[in-house]
Structures are given as C-alpha cells and as structure tokens.
Structure 1
Amino acid sequence: MELKPERLVAQLGAEAPRAAYLVAGAEPLLVLEAADAIRARARECGYAEREVFDADGREFDWNALDASFRAPSLFSAQRLIELRLPTGRPGKEGAEVIAGYCAEAQRAAKDGAGAPEIVLLVTAREWSRQHGGKWSEAIAGVGHVVLANPVRPHELEGWLESRMRQRGVRAERAAVQRLAERVQGNLLAAAQEVDKLALLAGEGTLDAARMESLVADAARFDVFRLVDAALAGQAAQAARMLAGLRAEGEAVPALMGMVVMELNRVAALARVQARGGNLAAEFKAQRVWDSKQAVYKRALSRHPAARWERFVVMAGAVDRIAKGRVRSGEEPADAWLALERLLVAVAEPKAAALAG
C-alpha cells in the first residue's frame, strides 16, 4: 500500500508491524520522521534488535543482507533490519534480495505464521517513478510505501497549519503566512519554529504581530537556495535572498563559485538540448538528481542556449568586479547590483536585456 507521510502514524497505530516498509523522497524531514515513526512502532511491538546496512555504493555486499534475512537472531526473536539506500536504486542484485525477502514474508503470512520475525525498513533520498520496480512493488505487497515528496510552495501554509494544530498552536491566517515567509520552504526550520511556538505561544490565537515577535528569521539564505530560486524563475525571491546574504555579511566572491558552477551546468545542458542530443544522459553526466531535473528543465525552457553562454560570461564579469579586477575600459561597478541583475535575468525572460 502507498501512503503519504501524514497518514502513516494513524496506519501504524491501527495494525501490527508489516514485513517491509519503503520510505523515500527528496524531503529529508519527512523521510526522517516517517522512518522514526516506523522504528518507534517496531520497538513498541517487541522488535528490540536493530541492524543497519548502508548501501551507499557499488561495493555494497548484498549477500550480507541476504544472510541476515536468513540467519536466526542471537538476541531477540524479532528484529528490525534497516537498509539505507540513498540513490533509491538497489541494482539487479539488490532488487532480487529485497524481492526474495518479501516473497518469503508473503508465504509465511499465508501459512499463518503470525507477526513477521523481521521488519525491513528501506529509506531512500531520491525517488521518482523510474526508481520503482518489482522490488518496490514487492515491498508494497507485504507492507507500505511512503513517499515523502517536497511540500510545494502553495501547500506550505496548509502544512504549517496542520503541524501547529498537532502541537496545540492556533494561529490566524496572516500569522501562518508570516511564518511561511520566514521559513521559505525549509521544513526543518519550520518544524523547529513550530516546536518553539508550542512552548512560547501560550493560550489564544496568534496574530501576525505576535508571530513576528516569536519566530526568528529561519529562511535559509544560502547560495544553494539562491541559485535554485533563480533557476526556478523566482526573480523576487532570488533578489530577497541575495539581500539577506548581504545583510548577513556574506561576500560576493564567496557566492560566485556555486553560481558559476550552476550556470556552466545549465549551459552544458542547453548545448545538448539545442543540437537535439540525449538530455537524460547529460543530466546523468552533470550529476543532476531526478528530483531536481524539473527545475533545470524549466530554466532551459526560458532561454536559448546562446543566452546561457552569455550568463556564464556575465558571472565571470561579476566575479572580476567583486575582486576589483576590472578590465581596461570597464567602469567600476557594484558587485552586489551586478549579481542581482544576473540572477533576475536568469529567472525572468523579460529581463533578458539585462544580460546585454
């Protein structure tokens, strides 16, 4: 069965532990909380022993996992076996091991064996339809698949309201909006702020002013999110985040490494797309995760390949300005303003004239 993270806790409380669970998705907080809920339920039901396998590379020994499934426990009749699969791709050998375990669990259940001796918990940071296969279908057949997808911008306020209700916090719509503005989609920061509100808010309903006084500006004004905002077409957001970085005392040269790297990456993708090449292969070559490809595709749709090359040139100019290395004939300029112009041009086709 496939579940959303918010349904998992209720489902766990309504039944005995299943033989297998898969928790996967690009939102770390939701993956962590779902996995913690499964671990806690397993402990409650007597699964006192826990084994952890990290399948984070091609050298992982799948035979060791298979042997653990088959070996009797020395310490507890019931065990939780946790498989950490960051890429969400077990490969042929791993898929066979997982599917084989699930088949054995299914046979045991049909024979009336009662509660499974082993609960398998698989966690993955990357997930899409392409990741699934017979192995994940086998897990769904004997347990649950929990997909922890990122909370979309238009869903964030509802997510915050739900989480605050769970913590006993009531807030007006304007207050929830203010909190959403503060956390900027960073669910870990949002969860921390909600937990703090549960301690500090007291009785009554929070209004916007009270919310403002209680929460810190938890928005993650880091360069990674700055570039993501520009690539996603969020010009105003990128400008606001850049202002936040400046206010925090960051220096332009410290930001430009990531900016240049990302623009070079998109320019390479644009060149492949322009000549009708294999974009999927280039995504793989550029090490772009499946969960982030949609952002790059939206960015590619906004500008032709030649303009992406121009953006790379602009980034070089910004870096020179920031380091005081203005070329002969160039006028000294404000590096922060030049970087803002570049990011807005990346985000907004109508501002392409800013690229010169």
Structure 2
Amino acid sequence: MELTPESLLGRLPGEPLRPVYMITGPEPLLVLEAADAVRARAREEGCAEREVFDADGREFDWDPLQATFNAPSLFSAKRLIELRLPTARPGKAGAEVIADFCAQPPADITLLITGGEWSKKHGGKWSEAIARTGCLVVARQVRPDQMTGWVEARLRKRGVKADRGAVQRLVERVEGNLLAAAQEIDKLALLADGEPIDAARMESLVADAARFDVFRMLDAALNGQGARASRMLAGLRAEGEVIPALMGMVVKELLTVATLARVQARGGNMAAEFRAQRVWDSKQATYRRALQRHAAPHWERFVAEAGRIDRIAKGRAPGDAWQVLERLLLVVADAKARPLVERGLAAGG
C-alpha cells in the first residue's frame, strides 16, 4: 500500500511489522522521522541486529545484499536490513533483488529502504511489489498553503497551545523550512510552560529562523531556487552583512560540490565521497539536484568565481561584489541562465 508519513506513524503501533518499507520523497525531515519510527517498531519486535547498505550509483554491487537476505542471522532472531537508495532508482539489478525479496520475504528480516526523491517515473514493478508486500511511504513536499496546517498539527502533537495568530507568526518565521519549524516547536514545548501562546508571545519565544542566513541562501541556489537565493542575498545585505564574511562559507560549499562532481564524473563511489565530505543523508538530495544541473568543469569555474568575488569585496579587483555574487547564485540555480550570465561573470560585473 502507499501511505503518507503521517498515516504510517498512525498505523505502526497497531499492527505487526511488515516485511518491507520504502520511505522516500523530497522532505528529508519527514523521511527521517518515518524511518526512525520503523526502526523503533523493529526494536520493539526484537530486531536486535541491523545492517546498512548504501546503494549509490551504478557501481553498487547488489550481490552482498542478496547474500544477506539468504544468510541466517548469527546474533538475533530478527534483523533490520536498511537500504539507502538516495535517487530512488535501483536499476535493473537492484529492482530484481528487491522484487525477489518481496516475492518471498525471509521471516527473520524487515527491509527498510529510504530515498531522497520520488515521482511517477521512479516507480516500476519493484515498487509495486513493495506496496503489495509492505508499505510504500512517500514524503511529498509540504506546499506553502499546507504549512499552517502542518505547524498546527505539530504543535498539538507536542502539547503546545497556540492561537491562529501565533501559528501564522511561526509559519512566517520558518519560511517553509520543516526542520527549522520542528526545532522551534520542540523549544516551544519546553518554554511555553503549558500556557497558551498568542502572536506577541510567539514573537518573544522563537528565534528568527527566517533570517536570511548564508546557509539557507546556498541551499536555495543548490536546489535551483534562484529567485529565493537572490531574495535572501538582498536580506543579508539589508541586515548589514558584508561580503567577506559570507565568502568563506560560499567557497566551502562550492568546493564540496566541485569535489563531488569530480568523483561523479570519473564514476567514483558517491556514497563514500558523501561520507568523506561529511554530507548528511538529509542534505544529499540537495547536492544531487545541483550535480545534475552542471558538469564538473562548471563547478570548478564557480569556485574560481567565488574567489574573484572575495577579491572584489576586498578592493583587489574591480566590480560590484554584491551584483557579481547574485549572478553567481543565479547561475548555480539555473543552468539555462549560464549563457546569459557568464558574460557578466567574465567581464567582472
């Protein structure tokens, strides 16, 4: 069956653990929480042994996973096997392994598959087999018009009473960022002392998670949201930030993507490189979207351009650093903008 994360969380406590769960979609927080719930349920049912496989790219060898399915456990009567499938595309070999598992699931194994993307084009006979044998859980993106309801439900779950004005204030603060909203709500559960919260009290209790900080600006650019990145850059400028204070983080982020792009270009092990670069699972989908947008040489150029922007800001090169940085963010966000903008990048402003 196909479920939402919310419906999965409602069903898990009242039914036996199913042989297979696939939890995937573009909302990392919802995927993470749903997967954590399955792990907790597995522990309750005696799954004391856990093994994790990172299926990242065509070079992944599916034979060890198949062998694990066929081998008896040495330490526990029940096992939880996790398959991390960031692209939600197992390929032909992987699809066969998953479908075979679903056709005759071992009695001692629960298979948990997590992914970072999902759409109709991702599905196939293998995902249909998962839905028949277990649960296919899709964490779809929370739309702006759904955000108020999502925040209200989260507040109720944490025992926080807030009026509509307070909820709207929190929605405005977190600007669509579910992780920021969840963190703020967790803090509110501690700070509210069981008292109802109105808009004024909400204003005093929550941090400004909608502040246009450089990390979220870069995430917007990497996710292909050029207009949002541009708006955040304007917010940073209005708050009195200076370019040199931003460029260290900009360069670091671009260097990370450039390194990943080089590994991808030569067919290297992306799972290992993500670990080497200390990229969390929840952030990998953002990097993958960015890597699909530009080839490795372009990322090298972006790193060089970021260095030039830093020199402009320090008076060592001509140009308007804010304008050139905005152009760079727009190019990162949209490959179609590259031919239109690179002339400005090359000209230095």
Calculate the TM-score normalised by the size of structure 2: 0.71
Match of 2:70 in 1: 70
Moved more, 54-63 or 64-73: 54-63
SS in 2 for 1:82: strand
Q: Which residue of 2 aligns with 1:161?
A: 152
Greater alpha carbon shift after TM alignment, 231-240 vs 11-20: 231-240
Post-superposition offset of 1:60: 2.5
Which position in structure 1 is the counterpart of 2:221?
A: 227
Match of 1:177 among 163, 168, 182: 168
Q: How far off its partner does 1:3 sit?
A: 0.6
Query: Do the aligned residues in 2 keep the contact of 1:24 with 1:127 (CA within 8 Å)?
Result: yes
Structure 2: how far apart are the matches of 1:202 and 1:221?
33
For the pair shown, the structure with the greater C-alpha radius of gyration is: 1
Q: What amino acid sits opposite 1:92 in the alignment?
A: K
| 1:120 is aligned to 2:114 | no
Task: State the distance in 2 between where 1:247 and 1:163 align.
Answer: 37
* Residues 316 and 247 (structure 1), Cα distance of their counterparts in 2 relative to 1, 3 Å cut: closer
- Which residue in the other structure is 1:85 paired with? 85
Q: In 2, Cα distance between the equivalents of 1:38 and 1:245?
A: 45
Closer/same/farther in 2, CA of residues 226 and 38 from structure 1, 3 Å limit: closer
Q: Partner residue of 2:2?
A: 2
CA distance in 2, matches of 1:134, 1:245: 54
* Change beyond 3 A, Cα 1:57–1:174: same
- Alignment RMSD: 4.0
1:55 aligns with 2:55: yes
In the TM superposition, residue 291 of structure 1 has moved relative to its aligned partner by: 8.9
Paired AA for residue 315 in structure 2:
G
* Map of 1:152 onto structure 2: 143
Unaligned runs of 5+ in 2: 258-283, 294-304, 335-339
User: Equivalent residue for 2:25?
Assistant: 25
Question: Are the aligned partners of 2:47 and 2:78 in contact in 1 as well (CA < 8 Å)?
Answer: yes
Q: SS in structure 1 opposite 2:120?
A: coil
Query: What residue identity is the alignment partner of 2:99?
Result: A
SS where residue 206 of structure 1 aligns? Answer: coil
How does 1:278-293 map onto structure 2 within 5 Å?
A: none
Equivalent residue number for residue 250 of structure 1: 245
After TM superposition, the runs of 4+ consecutive aligned structure 1 residues lying more than 4 A away are 234-238, 252-259, 287-293, 314-321, 337-344
In structure 2, give the amino acid aligned to 1:186. Answer: N
Q: Is the 8 A contact 1:169 1:197 kept in 2?
A: yes
Q: Distance in 1 between matches of 2:69 and 2:145?
A: 43
Equivalent residue pairs, number: 299
| CA 1:85–1:253: 2 relative to 1, 3 Å | closer
Q: What's the CA shift string for 1:147-176, capped at 9, x where partnerless?
A: 112222222221111101000001122211
Question: What residue number does 2:208 align with?
Answer: 217
Residues 205, 88 of structure 1: alpha-carbon distance in 2 compared, 3 angstrom cutoff: same
Give 5+ residue unaligned stretches, structure 1: 109-115, 263-286, 297-313
Q: Answer yes or no: is the 8 Å Cα contact 2:247–2:306 preserved in 1.
A: no
Give me the TM-score of the superposition, normalised by structure 1: 0.70
Whole-angstrom distance in 1 between the partners of 2:190 and 2:141: 27
Counterpart of 2:104 in structure 1 is: 104
CA deviation digits over 1:5-39, x for unaligned, max 9? 11111111221111100001122111110000011
* 1:256 Cα offset (Å): 7.8
Instruction: Output one character per residue of 1:42-85: Cα deviation in whole Å (capped at 9) or x when no partner.
Output: 11122222221121243332111111111121222221111111
Contact in 1 for aligned 2:25/2:116 (Cα 8 Å): yes
Question: Post-superposition shift, 1:231?
Answer: 3.7
Identity of aligned residues (%): 57
